[in-house]
């Protein structure tokens, strides 16, 4: 009986370890392109307040810069990007927007969530898509509505970091 219980416990441990190993297996990261250009936030289906649109754009630029994945980061319409080889463009389309209430959040804690849903596409100049993902930025408990744009930008940067890595620099002799 004791052997049976011991076997059961050991078996459970082994199964948990195998499952954990399988779930934590990270996808292979691609080498990050040399330069990235962030296109203006589009909201074709949803009418997003202009302040929110520009806040996503500015926050995304800041957060992508923080990842240090790319040597060059260009804004939308930057003429210098035209001559850069290996440039990728990040396009973001707003697919959903729910403006909550900061007061409701602060008073009730559970109500008044603000959320912004976007579809981001990272593509090369020839149109080849390197990364495509739906993301949501939200502010659920603390903070003003605009904080959802910061949360979304952080999510965008995290997605890039999860899929790309800085290519190893070759040492010059």
Partner 1 sequence: MLTKTATSTLSRLHTRARIVLLMLIIAGVPAVSPGQQQPQPPKPAPKRVRSVMGFQDIKKNETCDINVGASSVNLKGKTATVEVTVASIEDVLTGDDSARLVGGFVGTLTSFGPYGSGRFLSLFRKKLDTLTIQYRDSDGGLHGGILSMHPGEAIALKRLIVAAGAKTTVPVDDSGKPAEGTPTATAEQKKGDQKP
Residue 129: CB minimum distance to partner 1, A: 23
Nearer to partner 1, 53 or 151 (CB): 53
Does 80 help bind partner 1 (rule: CB under 8 A)? yes
Told to check if 142 binds partner 1 by CB under 8 A, we report yes
Q: Could you give the string, one character per residue 91-130, with x where binding to partner 1 holds by CB under 8 A and - elsewhere? A: -----------xx--xx-----------------------
Q: For residue 1, what are its two tokens?
A: 């009986």
Residue in 33, 43, 78, 32 with CA at minimum distance from that of residue 152: 43
> Are the C-beta atoms of 134 and 107 separated by less than 8 Å?
no
Using rule CB under 8 A, residue 79 touches partner 1 = yes
Helix, strand, or coil here: 111? Answer: coil
- CA-to-CA distance for 98 and 43, rounded, in angstroms? 14
Site for partner 1 in 3-42 (CB under 8 A): 40
CB of 95 to partner 1, least distance (A): 17
How many CB atoms within 10 Å of residue 126?
A: 5
DSSP letter (8 states) at residue 42: B
DSSP designation for 110: S
- List the one residue from 144, 158, 165, 167 that touches partner 1 (CB under 8 A): 144
Closest CB to partner 1 among residues 147, 161: 147
Task: Count the residues in the chain.
Answer: 173
Binding site residues, partner 1, CB under 8 A: 40, 47-55, 57-59, 74-80, 102-103, 106-107, 142, 144-146
């Amino acid at each position: 009986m004791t052997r049976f219980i011991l076997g059961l416990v050991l078996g459970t441990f082994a199964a948990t370890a195998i499952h954990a190993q399988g779930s934590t297996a990270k996808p292979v990261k691609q080498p990050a392109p040399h330069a990235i250009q962030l296109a203006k936030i589009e909201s074709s289906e949803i009418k997003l307040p202009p302040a929110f649109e520009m806040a996503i754009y500015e926050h995304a630029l800041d957060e992508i810069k923080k990842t240090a994945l790319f040597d060059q980061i260009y804004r939308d319409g930057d003429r210098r990007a035209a001559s850069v080889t290996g440039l990728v463009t990040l396009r973001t389309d707003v697919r959903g927007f729910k403006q909550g209430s900061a007061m409701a959040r602060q008073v009730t804690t559970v109500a008044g969530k603000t959320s912004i849903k976007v579809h981001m596409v990272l593509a090369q100049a020839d149109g080849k898509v390197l990364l495509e993902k739906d993301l949501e930025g939200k502010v659920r408990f603390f903070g003003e509505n605009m904080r959802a744009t910061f949360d979304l930008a952080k999510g965008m940067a995290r997605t890039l970091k999860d899929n790309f890595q800085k290519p190893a620099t070759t040492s010059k002799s």
